């Protein structure tokens, strides 16, 4: 008999992508009922994250990977399949406007999500649920015109950035615009891919947080964007930031059998900010 191990080979697998604030809270929660594969970019932080999850008694392994690299995503999918049947994908990784430029934000938030969506669809079976963490920012701006939407719908075809250059002037290619467009396109990807996931008896949804108290949320409250963000937050019907417990609640619900008839849609977990700023 093996002793001193958290191994629970009978549990289904949850793949959690992104080991930041929200990703770790999701891993802790899903780890109550799943074996967890936590995949994130920083090898050094991953070692600490794996140890922290294991200290909580969770059957967890952390894997270094880069969501923008197709080979890295393929290796991760193979590793995950080797751990057992994929029950839950929680794709949480993302860059905020202050942590990247136009190209990097679109690469991580849009190309990266499309790569994991395609790879994990291959692992999906009846009962599998995929939850992609998006943002209320995708709802707050006007939707882009049809020619921009058509390019955003197809981020994995070579020449993506060249085609974007043809429809979005260079002067509009800001980090904030990359963030808004990537999250708008992510919500749309989950709608457009519902049929493909449904064909496997599986579900795909997005979850759009408003301002959440995470290290990323705190970074966005520093520097030049602080005043703009605080002004927006003054309009929150629930007059505070959300917490990582509340986003983990939403991810857990959307991934669970309680949400078994929910697919191809988005759940706002935003304290009502979209309702307050874009009524009707």
Ligand X SMILES: NC(=O)c1ccc[n+]([C@@H]2O[C@H](COP(=O)([O-])OP(=O)(O)OC[C@H]3O[C@@H](n4cnc5c(N)ncnc54)[C@H](OP(=O)(O)O)[C@@H]3O)[C@@H](O)[C@H]2O)c1
List residues with catalytic annotation.
Answer: 179
Give min distance, CB of 64 to ligand X, in A. 8
* Binding residue count for ligand X, defined by CB under 6 A: 29
Cα 264 to its chain centre, rounded Å, is: 15
In the sheet that holds 60-64, the strands lie side by side as: 60-64, 35-40, 13-17, 86-91, 129-133, 203-209, 266-269
Q: Is 67 in the site for ligand X (CB under 6 A)?
A: yes
Measured distance CA(184)–CA(136) in Å, rounded: 9
Residue 275 phi, psi dihedral angles, 5° rounding: -60, -35
Cβ proximity to ligand X, 19 vs 144, nearer residue: 19
Say if CB 199 and CB 162 are below 8 A apart.
no
The tokens for 184 are: 């708008």
Binding mask of the shown chain, residues 160 to 199, with x at each position contacting ligand X by CB under 6 A:
----------------------------------------
Using CB under 6 A, which of 21, 31, 97, 155 touches ligand X? 21
The set of residues, in sequence order, having a beta carbon less than 8 Å from that of 258 and lying 6+ positions away, is: none
- The region of 78-86, 122-130, 167-175, 208-216 touching ligand X under the rule CB under 6 A is 208-216
Q: Phi-psi category of 222—alpha, beta or left, where left has phi over 0 and alpha has psi -120 to 50?
A: beta
Specify whether the CB–CB gap between 91 and 18 falls below 8 A.
yes
> Pattern 219-258, binding to ligand X, x per CB under 6 A?
----------------------------------------
Question: Does residue 212 belong to the site contacting ligand X (CB under 6 A)?
Answer: yes
CB of 194 to ligand X, least distance (A): 20
Contact map string, positions 25 to 64, toward ligand X, x by CB under 6 A = ---------------xxx--x-------------------
Eight-class DSSP state of 143: P
Q: Determine the Cα–Cα distance for residues 76 and 116; give it in Å rounded to an integer.
A: 9
Q: How many CA atoms lie within 13 A of 77 on its CB side?
A: 17
Q: Which residues in the chain belong to E strands, given as ranges?
A: 13-17, 35-40, 60-64, 86-91, 129-133, 203-209, 266-269
- Closest contact distance (angstroms) between CB of 49 and ligand X is 8
The verdict on 271 binding ligand X (CB under 6 A) reads no
Q: Which is nearer to ligand X, 216 or 262 (CB)?
A: 216
Indicate the residue among 167 and 216 with the shorter CB distance to ligand X.
216
C-beta of 67 vs 181, nearer to ligand X: 67
Residues lying near ligand X in the complex (CB under 6 A) are found at 18-23, 40-42, 45, 65-68, 92-96, 108, 133, 135, 209, 211-212, 214-217
């Amino acid at each position: 008999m093996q002793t001193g191990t958290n191994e629970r080979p009978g549990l289904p697998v949850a793949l959690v992508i992104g080991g930041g604030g929200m990703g770790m809270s999701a891993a802790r929660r899903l780890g109550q009922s799943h074996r967890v594969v936590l995949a994130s970019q920083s090898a050094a932080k991953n070692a600490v994250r794996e140890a922290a999850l294991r200290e909580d008694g969770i059957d967890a392994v952390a894997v270094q990977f880069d969501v923008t690299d197709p080979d890295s995503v393929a290796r991760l999918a193979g590793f995950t399949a080797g751990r057992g049947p994929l029950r839950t994908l929680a794709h949480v990784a993302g860059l905020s406007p202050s942590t990247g430029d136009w190209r990097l934000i679109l690469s991580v938030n849009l190309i990266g999500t499309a790569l994991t969506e395609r790879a994990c669809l291959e692992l999906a079976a009846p009962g599998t649920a995929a939850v992609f963490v998006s943002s209320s920012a995708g709802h707050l701006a006007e939707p882009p015109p049809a020619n921009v939407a058509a390019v955003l719908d197809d981020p994995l075809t070579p020449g993506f950035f060249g085609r974007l250059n043809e429809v979005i002037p260079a002067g509009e290619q800001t980090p904030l615009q990359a963030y808004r467009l990537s999250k708008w396109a992510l919500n749309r990807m989950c709608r457009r891919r519902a049929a493909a996931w449904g064909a496997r008896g599986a579900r795909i949804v997005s979850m759009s947080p408003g301002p959440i108290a995470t290290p990323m949320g705190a970074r966005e409250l520093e520097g030049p964007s602080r005043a703009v963000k605080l002004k927006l937050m003054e309009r929150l019907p629930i007059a505070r930031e959300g917490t990582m417990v509340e986003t983990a609640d939403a991810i857990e619900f959307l991934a669970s059998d309680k949400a078994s008839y929910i697919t191809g849609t988005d759940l706002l977990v935003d304290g009502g900010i979209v309702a307050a700023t874009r009524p009707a």
